[in-house]
Amino acid sequence: MRTTSRHRAAARTIAAIAAVSLGAACSDNGGSTGDGTAGNYPDQNITFVVPFSAGGPTDTVTRMISEPMAKELGAKIVVQNVEGAGGTIAAGDVARAEPDGYTVLMHHIGMSTAPALYKNLGYKPLEDFEMVGLVTEVPMTIVARKDFAPATLQDLVTHVKANAGKVTLANAGIGAASHLCGLLFQDAAGVKLQEVPYEGTGPALTDLVGGQVDFMCDQTTNTSGQISAGKVKAYAVTTPERVKSLPDLPTTAEAGLPQLQVSVWHGLYVPAGTPQEVVQKLSDALKKALADQGVIDQMAKLGTAPVPAEDATPEAHRAHLDEQLKTWAKVIADAGVKAS
Ligand code: ASP
């Protein structure tokens, strides 16, 4: 796993925030307690860690829910981007943070794919975290630079097969949703392409619009605006149904690649050992945020929706993660992808 000085600095910041949290909890008896109760939680800022770049899809969803959650919790939520290694650096940092409810991770489907893709992940998804609840499930789109030659998804498959050494496929690093979708695309097309990793699909999309890379898979929460503005070429959406906000975009099944189906679920996590009442407070605030009309409207514009209230719970989240870990381990092994 690659660790840059920026990642180490970010990790130190998280550790410092966590240390301050613990200090406050110990000195004034506020904050969460070690006995499973919530004490005065929250009585200081909460950090929401986003494992990808600012401006990308994970960041967008996090910022959408953090404001109504902050209102509900009566505390400020600070969003911090800790990029790198397909989201695994941030996940490892949060797994090792103080379990006091002041360091919260937003992660997506990558939580369930990384164990099959990394030999030394450094954290165990089911053991090292408490799940707070699921947030949303976002369709992906296959998009290319505007002047990329293939006109349809079928043309894209033909083109990449004929030009495998030349075509570039952007993603947000091994373990990112864009990486997973790219793997599924290459597997379905029977081709191996040159992948260009970024620290998030925010900057990857900027390069796609600028013509520096050829194509990528990314969530509607990032691509909708550029598709509607005609700044990228869109081939298909990776869900069984079309997306209401992009009605002209065919599904992968309609466009001739029915095996390519994936949508990107998101959830909130805190370190294992966080008091149950704190987890419950966060989960209740999440439920409230997902019922907020402003959040529902913003998500609808970007091709997604909040999960139903019963899925914004620790139990539903844990069950989903457990099932997804098994599903993706098998899909990744069947595709012949080895952990590195
Ligand atoms: N969620 C994106 C991905 O997994 C990355 C991002 O949020 O920037 O590809």
pTM of the model: 0.88
Instruction: Output the six-digit token pair for 296.
Output: 């529902």
Decide whether any atom of ligand 1 lies within 6 Å of the 56 Cβ. Answer: yes
Q: What is the pLDDT of residue 38?
A: 75
Number of C-beta neighbours around residue 315 at 10 A: 12
Q: What is the pLDDT of residue 3?
A: 34
How far is it, in rounded angstroms, from Cα 28 to Cα 30? 5
Ligand 1 mean position to 142 CA, how many Å? Answer: 14
- Ligand 1, atom 8: closest residue by C-alpha: 200
Domains of the chain, first to last: 3-137+265-334 (3.40.190.150), 139-237 (3.40.190.10)
Ligand 1 mean position to 37 CA, how many Å? Answer: 34
262 and 318 in contact (C-beta within 8 Å)? no
Query: Quick one: DSSP state of residue 214?
Result: -
Ligand 1 mean position to 16 CA, how many Å? Answer: 26
Residue 204 has phi, psi (to 5 degrees) of: -65, -40
Q: What is the pLDDT of residue 32?
A: 53
Q: What is the pLDDT of residue 36?
A: 61
How far is it, in rounded angstroms, from Cα 314 to Cα 297? 25
How far is it, in rounded angstroms, from Cα 329 to Cα 307? 24
pLDDT tens track, the chain, 340 positions? 233 333 333 433 343 333 333 333 333 333 455 566 678 999 999 999 999 999 999 999 999 999 999 999 999 999 999 999 999 999 999 999 999 999 999 999 999 999 999 999 999 999 999 999 999 999 999 999 999 999 999 999 999 999 998 999 999 999 999 999 999 999 999 999 999 999 999 999 999 999 999 999 999 999 999 999 999 999 999 999 999 999 999 999 999 999 999 999 999 999 999 999 999 999 999 999 999 999 999 999 999 999 999 999 999 999 999 999 999 999 999 888 878 8
Q: What is the pLDDT of residue 9?
A: 37
Closest CA to 58 of 213, 175, 168: 175
To test ligand 1's pocket by mutation, which of 117, 201, 263, 266 has the most ligand atoms within 8 angstroms of CB? 201
Ligand 1 mean position to 66 CA, how many Å? Answer: 18
Burial of 310 (0-12, 13-18, 19+ CB in 10 A): exposed
Amino acid in position 257: L
Strands (E), the chain: 46-50, 77-81, 103-108, 129-145, 168-171, 194-197, 215-219, 232-237, 263-271
